[in-house]
């Protein structure tokens, strides 16, 4: 059974008994088994809210980015992988209501389910507290990812670039190790990347993805092609 929603509701500044939040946390598999409303419509709405919130952040905080660069930044932040990681940082899997089949098939580990849940939760914040609150929440969760992408919007993702170099030079695939510190609402992650048995880079960030990207960037900049 899902854990009590009290802590999540508090994190979102919503009532613990919010009917909208309950729907946001209800997967279609659970809805089919219990004849109740799923979060699919909220996911549809949340997708638009997240997109607008990130576009607003790019335009207001990064005036040097033109339309093309801004679109590249947004695409690197508003995607299934990034939103699934955001859901993981919120521990949404702990609160989601899913059907028995999804539990057996470990559906709660699927990025698509987690990303959809994140968008549905954003929609719940929007409906309960308005766009300003939803925008602030999205910025808080994804702002660091935008900052990383905005540094070089048209470059290949640092992790992809490092992997391509390591594999092409016969060093194998890079591996990452993560540690975290700080309270749940303000966790800092530290990542180390190892290539061919050697620690090549260290990075820090508010998200796992951001920390790994910074570690990969450090490894790439300090690489030795010999």
Active site residues: 47, 119
The residue among 126, 141, 124 whose CA lies nearest residue 184 is 141
DSSP code for 97: B
Phi, psi of 48 (to 5 degrees): -70, -40
Name residue, tokens 């190892």.
194
Task: Judge residue 190's burial from the number of C-beta atoms within 10 Å of its C-beta, 0-12 exposed, 13-18 middle, 19 or more buried.
Answer: middle
In our burial notation (b when 16+ CB lie closer than 10 A, e otherwise), range 99-125 reads beebeeeebbeebebbbbbbbbbbbbb
């Amino acid at each position: 059974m899902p854990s009590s929603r009290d802590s999540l509701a508090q994190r979102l500044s919503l009532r613990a008994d919010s009917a909208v939040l309950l729907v946001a946390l209800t997967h279609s598999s659970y809805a089919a088994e219990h004849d109740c409303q799923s979060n699919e419509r909220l996911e549809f709405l949340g997708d638009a809210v997240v997109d607008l919130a990130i576009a607003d952040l790019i335009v207001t905080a990064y005036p040097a980015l033109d339309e093309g660069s801004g679109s590249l930044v947004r695409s690197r932040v508003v995607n299934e992988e990034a939103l699934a990681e955001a859901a993981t940082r919120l521990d949404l899997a702990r609160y989601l209501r899913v059907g028995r089949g999804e539990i057996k098939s470990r559906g709660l580990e699927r990025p698509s389910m987690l990303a959809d849940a994140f968008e549905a939760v954003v929609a719940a914040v929007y409906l309960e507290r308005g766009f300003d609150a939803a925008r602030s929440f999205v910025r808080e969760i994804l702002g660091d990812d935008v900052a990383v992408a905005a540094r070089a919007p048209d470059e290949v993702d640092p992790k992809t670039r490092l992997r391509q170099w390591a594999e092409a030079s016969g060093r194998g695939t890079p591996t990452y190790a993560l540690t975290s510190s700080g309270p749940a609402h303000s966790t800092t992650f530290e990542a180390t990347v190892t290539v061919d048995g050697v620690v090549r880079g260290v990075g820090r960030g508010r998200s796992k993805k951001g920390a790994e990207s910074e570690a990969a960037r450090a490894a790439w900049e300090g690489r030795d092609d010999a």
